[in-house]
Amino acid sequence: MAQNRTFTMIKPDAFSAGNTGAILKMIEEAGFRIVAAKVTKLTAERAGQFYEVHKERPFYNDLCEYMSSGAIMALILEKDNAVADFRTLIGATNPAEAAEGTVRKLFAKSIEANAIHGSDSDENAQLEGSFFFSKDEEF
């Protein structure tokens, strides 16, 4: 399959716990190439825009508060079959259901504070990447 790209965020719980380096090591060892990266902090409003698809869900306000509670690292990653392979690497949304050896199994604290985001389609990977990065920040 052709090289393609996905978008990820190391979420506030994992970033503040000092797990960024360990997670980046897993990402690189799984064959992903980092093509863009930055440390930043979302406002609750921007977190709400990012997770707009969930705005009718009961956990939406909590999610926006949590995602704006501290610094995150945003990255664009390249690999063949990037979106699906990255979802496999991070594991299920709920760490209690995440497979052994996945990022969420190792580092997530709860279904909400679940360490890492991964795009769910090529289209969303493109949209989410451009939410954080301009084209001249991608290599």
Q: Which residues bind ligand GTP (CB under 6 A)?
A: 54, 59, 62-63, 93, 111-112, 114, 117-118, 120
Q: How far apart are CA 128 and CA 123, in angstroms?
A: 9
Of the pair 99, 139, the CB lying nearest ligand GTP is at: 99
Considering the candidates 47, 90, 117, 133, report the single residue annotated as catalytic: 117
Distance of CA 137 to the CA centre of its chain: 18
Query: Taking the complex as a whole, how short is the minimal distance between the CB of residue 136 and ligand GTP, in angstroms?
Result: 26
Of the pair 85, 120, the CB lying nearest ligand GTP is at: 120
Q: Parallel, antiparallel, or unpaired for β 3-10 and 116-118?
A: antiparallel
Is there a catalytic annotation at residue 54? no
Cα dihedral across residues 96, 65, 53, 4: positive or negative: negative
Of the pair 85, 112, the CB lying nearest ligand GTP is at: 112
Looking at residue 116, its amino acid is: I
Active site residues: 117
